[in-house]
Homo-oligomer: A and B are copies of this chain.
Amino acid sequence: MKLEGDTAPFVDDYLLYLLAAASSSLSGKFHQHVKQQNANVNEWRVLACLVDRPGLMLTELAGFVLYEQSRLSKIVDRMELQGLVARTKTADDRRKVLIQITPKGRKIVEPLIEAARRHETDSAQCLDRSEIDALKSALKKLIRSNG
C-alpha cells in the first residue's frame, strides 16, 4: 500500500531531467566510439555541424554546436592546428571569421556520421517508427519555441 506523501522523486518526471538523462544515456556509448576513432567529442560535434554547411561565422557555429563563443573559439584553435577546419575572413565584414570544414575534417567525420546513424537506429530500437517521429517532432517544437 502506498502512503500519502510517498510520491516519486521530483526528477523522475521532470522534463528537463528526462531530456538530459536521455541525451546522456544515448551519447555515452557513441562518445566511446568517437574516442576509439581519431577524434574527441568536441571535434565530432563541430565537424558534424559543419559538414553540410558552406561555412559559418564562429557565433553561428557556436549556436549550432551548443557551446559558448569563447569555448568554441578555443576548440577551433586546436582543430585548426590539426587541420580539421579552416578560418577564413570575409570581405564584407572584417570582424567575421568563417569556419569551414577541410577535406581532412571531412574524411574523419564521414565515417563517424555513418556510425552515428547506425547508433541512432540501435538506440531507438525500443520505440516504433511512429513514436520516433512523434519524439523528433516534439523535440523540434521545443527547440523552436525556446530560444
**Contact call B126/A22, Cβ cutoff below 8 A:** no
For residue A19, CB closer than 8 A to chain B, the reply is yes
**How many whole Å from A45's CB to the nearest CB in chain B?**
8
Find A136's partner among B18, B53, B132 (CB 8 Å cutoff).
B18
Number of copies of this chain that the complex holds: 2
A141 CA to B134 CA in the complex, in Å? 14
For residue A116, CB closer than 8 A to chain B, the reply is yes
A98 CA to B7 CA in the complex, in Å? 22
A62 CA to B30 CA in the complex, in Å? 20
Find A113's partner among B10, B22, B26 (CB 8 Å cutoff).
B10
Do A139 and B18 contact each other (CB < 8 Å), given the known contacts A53-B9, A134-B134, A146-B26?
Answer: yes
Minimum CB distance partner of A53 in chain B: B9
**Contact call B142/A11, Cβ cutoff below 8 A:** no
Minimum CB distance partner of A144 in chain B: B126
Find A120's partner among B14, B123, B125, B132 (CB 8 Å cutoff).
B14
A51 CA to B14 CA in the complex, in Å? 13
Interface range, A side: 35 or more
Do A26 and B22 contact each other (CB < 8 Å), given the known contacts A51-B9, A126-B145, A131-B134?
Answer: no
Do A127 and B142 contact each other (CB < 8 Å), given the known contacts A15-B120, A27-B16, A134-B134?
Answer: yes
**Contact call B136/A135, Cβ cutoff below 8 A:** no
Minimum CB distance partner of A140 in chain B: B18
**Contact call B136/A11, Cβ cutoff below 8 A:** no
